[in-house]
């Protein structure tokens, strides 16, 4: 019965439930300390297979899985770029097995996309069977962006999983896309980042039910909330903020930390 309820409950509802019921996480002085306190990295084949399974299911009827704040921001950003055109180029950094693409394609079926997802090698290996003429997967950002001029660079809840999100954000900004969308971005409200360990049930990754034979486990990975001041200063050098929305889905409580969840929609400065 417990397993059945877990399959039936929407993943975002479980996410909210756990956000308010899990104990506050411990803060660490450095990323290295948080890594030593973690049990896993993000290169889990079991995790990649689970996300692929969920993506295969949701791509048939993505609207049935609910729409989050970040989804609305993504769809709005796409709509603004389309205007009188019917094609769009996107780099989706940390886009897992392409769930964002399948949602966008369901809403804009007549648009021709060139959607490039950048992910870990393990995730890319699992996701390749989902590749289409409009969706492709890369394990390196430079390979995805080289010789490619995207209209939109998108990342959702990924910068917090990196040892140095500022370097990666700078690389994303330097691509020079017309629009930049930073989704599910949990940040520290001080000038310093907050380092911690993200502990959660593996079953919460991705949207939708898990396989009937799936055996859940606790994921324990290093995580950080970068400084909001530094994040905004970095993208503001080349982009103008067009929309800012509160999004708590990328947050969990850390003892003694002041955190904020935000999504940013930005246009390149002329």
Strand (E) positions, the chain? 27-28, 87-93, 112-118, 135-138, 152-156, 179-188, 194-201, 218-225, 239-246, 259-268
**Domain coordinates in residue numbering, the chain:** 2-268
| 268 vs 7, higher pLDDT | 268
pLDDT single digits (tens) 199-231:
999 999 998 899 999 999 999 999 999 999 999
> With 80 as the cut, is the pLDDT of residue 13 above it?
no
Backbone angles phi, psi at 7, to 5 degrees: -70, -35
Three-class secondary structure of residue 254 per DSSP: strand
HSE, side-chain direction, 13 A CA sphere, residue 268: 14
Residue 149 has pLDDT above 50, yes or no: yes
pLDDT digits (tens, 9 = 90+) for 82-117: 988 899 999 999 999 999 999 999 999 999 999 999
Confidence of residue 8 (pLDDT cuts 50, 70, 90): very low
pLDDT grade, residue 62 (50/70/90)? Answer: confident
Q: What is the mean pLDDT of residues 254-263?
A: 96
Residue 22: pLDDT band by 50, 70, 90 thresholds?
low
What is each CA distance from 16 to 21, 81, 226, in whole angstroms?
9, 32, 22
State the pLDDT at residue 23: 73
The CATH homologous superfamily to which domain 2-268 belongs is Vaccinia Virus protein VP39 (3.40.50.150)
């Amino acid at each position: 019965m417990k397993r059945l309820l877990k399959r039936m409950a929407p993943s975002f509802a479980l996410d909210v439930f756990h956000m308010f019921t899990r104990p506050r996480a411990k803060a660490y002085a450095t990323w290295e300390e948080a890594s030593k306190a973690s049990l896993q990295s993000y290169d889990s084949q079991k995790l990649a297979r689970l996300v692929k399974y969920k993506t295969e299911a949701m791509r048939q009827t993505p609207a049935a899985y609910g729409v989050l704040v970040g989804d609305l921001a993504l769809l709005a950003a796409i709509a603004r770029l389309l205007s009188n055109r019917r094609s769009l180029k996107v780099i989706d950094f940390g886009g897992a097995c392409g769930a964002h693409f399948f949602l966008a394609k369901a809403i804009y079926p007549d648009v021709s996309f060139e959607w490039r997802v950048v992910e870990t090698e393990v995730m890319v290996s699992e996701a390749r069977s989902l590749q289409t003429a409009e969706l492709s997967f890369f394990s390196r950002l430079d390979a995805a962006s080289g010789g490619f001029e995207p209209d939109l660079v998108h990342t959702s809840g990924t910068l917090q999983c990196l040892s140095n999100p500022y370097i990666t954000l700078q690389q994303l900004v330097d691509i020079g896309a017309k629009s930049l969308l930073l989704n599910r971005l949990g940040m520290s409200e001080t000038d310093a980042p907050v380092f911690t360990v993200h502990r959660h049930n593996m079953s919460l990754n991705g949207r939708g039910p898990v396989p009937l034979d799936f055996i859940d486990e606790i994921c324990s990975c290093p995580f950080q909330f970068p400084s909001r001041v530094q994040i905004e200063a970095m993208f503001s050098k080349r982009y103008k903020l067009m929309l800012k929305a509160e999004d708590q889905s990328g947050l969990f409580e850390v003892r003694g930390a002041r955190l904020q969840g935000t999504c940013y929609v930005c246009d390149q400065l002329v």
